[in-house]
Amino acid sequence: MDEHIREEILAKRSLIPSWSIYLFLIIAIVGFGTFVYNIMGSEESAKGAWEIFLINFLYWTVIAQAGIIFSCILRITNARWARPLLRVSEGLGAFLPISFVLLIVVFLGRDYVLPYATEHYHHPRDIWLNMTFVITRNIGLFSVLLILNAFYLYYSLRQDLGGAADKLSGLPAWIASGWSGEDERTTMWKRLGQFAPAVIIFFALTFSFFAWDLIMSLDPLWFSTLFGPYYFMGGFLGALGSTIILSIMLRRRLGLEEYLVDTHYHDMGKLLQGFSLFWVYMFFSQLLPIWYANMPETTAFVIKRVQEEPFKAFAWATLTCVFIFPFLALMPRTNKIVKPIVVFIAGVSLTGLWIDKFVLVTPSLSNTVNIGITQILITLGFLGAFIMMFLLFIRTFPSIPFGDRFFGGKAKGGHH
């Protein structure tokens, strides 16, 4: 390990200003306050607040976890090309402890957002949708996933922080304590190789249950065997876009131009383009059997979203933002490496993924589109909490994984 690089990266943590963290904390508090104010009000305002709360929980939570999944995939595949981006993607997962609390809050509002909590579907699914069973399996799986995340991140961070305990304080010092030398780095590498597949498996399992119980089951008749993968792979696409945007912000703020170079964003742009194509494939693969089998119980779900206003426009906006625009815009190489352009493209993709959650959830709960100041403030509150936790993570831990076996050091001539 290059000690000069370690000292340089550790010193850059202080370049994250405290005021930025407090700013996003205030935004989060305003959003939470708006939510509390509305659920204490009329039945209509409470219903609207709970609906937008569920949409944002589903959106931000899957992106946060998918950030850690991207890191796991890089380790399993021994991918050297994106090593400097690894810690940024892990930082997305800093939101997950808040997500765990938010999941409990969702179940507290089950009478407003989970129709099966107050009425029977008179269908075999009633056994599956017993509320005690629903709450137990979702909280239980998410708890296991969070524990696996904690071990994975501990070993990932210990690779960097080990041997520097005397220069650290707080949580980083605790992670670095008891370092037994460079041989331990090999042990950390093996542990990461063991935990990464487990995290990925529980990610797919946990978020499939979220998709089934918190989105698909809101409609008593609709079902799709591909809906779980459609949901969590959409989250992975969102994590790619978030990693691009946040790493470019950090690159400028922390002076990481020698570590995060054009080739990284060229490759990330190709991934964003490729997974937007995979997302639309998953989308089409669910629609195709509904069409050729002419299943009336599931056709109604699709027709309400793609042929009837006011949701038809939102459905087309989703397809345009998540697939059509990114796929075409990322064709030229220049658009992948010019930072403002690729940030804009990733931002459009992320917006489309949020609209996707809105289109999936809202028509199952109401017949109108109600987007006002309440919905905007609650959504901004989630955004504030997400960015705040990410900045806290980057301010606490190294932004570049310099202790990783495949970290290539500073770029030479703009290439690794």
Q: Residue 250: what pLDDT? A: 93
Tell me the one-letter amino acid at 140: G
Q: Quick one: DSSP state of residue 409?
A: -
Q: How far is CA 112 from CA 41, 47, 98, 364, in A?
A: 13, 6, 21, 12
- Classified as helix, coil or strand, 130 is coil
Cα 387 to the chain's mean position, in Å?
A: 12
- Classified as helix, coil or strand, 374 is helix
Q: Quick one: DSSP state of residue 14?
A: G
Q: Per-residue pLDDT tens for 166-192? A: 788 889 999 988 888 778 888 888 999
C-alpha angle with apex 72: 71 to 78, nearest 5 degrees?
90
Q: Residue 276: what pLDDT? A: 95
- Classified as helix, coil or strand, 199 is helix
- Give the integer Cα–Cα distance in Å for 28 and 30: 5
Instruction: Report whether pLDDT(402) > 50.
Output: yes
Share of the chain above pLDDT 90, in %: 64
Q: Per-residue pLDDT tens for 257-290? A: 889 999 999 999 999 999 999 999 998 888 888 7
Q: Residue 80: what pLDDT? A: 87
Instruction: Report whether pLDDT(8) > 90.
Output: no
pTM value > 0.85: yes
CA 408, 9, 268, 195 torsion: positive or negative? Answer: positive
Using pLDDT thresholds of 50, 70 and 90, give the confidence band for residue 414.
very low
Write b or e for each residue in 45-71: b if 16 or more Cβ atoms lie within 10 A of its Cβ, otherwise e.
Answer: bbbbbbbbbbbbbbbbbbbbbbbbbbb
Question: How large is the C-alpha radius of gyration of the chain?
Answer: 22
Q: Quick one: DSSP state of residue 323?
A: I
Place of tokens 């939570």: 61
